[in-house]
Amino acid sequence: METNYKFRLGIFGLIGLIFAPIGLVFLILGIVIRSDAIEGSSTVFKGVFCGMGGLFLVLGAVFLALSIKENSKIKKLIAAGNYIMANFVSASLNMAVQINGRNPYRAEFQFTDPLGMVHVFYSRNVMADPTPALTGKQVRVYVDPQNYDNYYADIDSVMTLH
């Protein structure tokens, strides 16, 4: 069964998609507006436009880069093909995140390695309770064999089959 990973923008990517174009527009306006078209201190006006535009552009680019880096990491883990089958333990509300006044769910999975060490993995945030779809099931968790802290729990393949 092949995993078909879709690029997910996430909150950082969304913020980046908003901030970067706004910053670019302000930066261009600050550069393009002629000094004689502005009454008062044109240097201050242009400085504010360029400064705010540059700040928004840089923040947007950083947020987009973080989103792209996360997606790239996940694609590399999947391409490497190193995965373990982890057991579903529970799903709980992620109180650290709120979207439109609602908290998303995160599924928790466990895997016991041959040495008896228990590893705990968490899924991405999902808005619906995944418990009915995941109860009694195992999920592929793509891992870096050198560092189990670098992982991706593939709940989408199980939840779409439900």
Q: What percent of the chain has pLDDT over 70?
A: 91
pLDDT in tens, 30-68: 888 776 666 767 778 788 889 999 999 999 999 999 999
pLDDT in tens, 103-155: 999 999 999 988 999 999 999 988 899 999 899 899 999 999 889 899 999 99
Burial of 122 (0-12, 13-18, 19+ CB in 10 A): middle
pTM: 0.74
The number of CA neighbours under 13 Å toward the Cβ of 6 is: 6
Residue 154 backbone phi and psi in degrees, to 5: -90, 80
Per the DSSP assignment, residues forming a β-bridge with 99 are 102
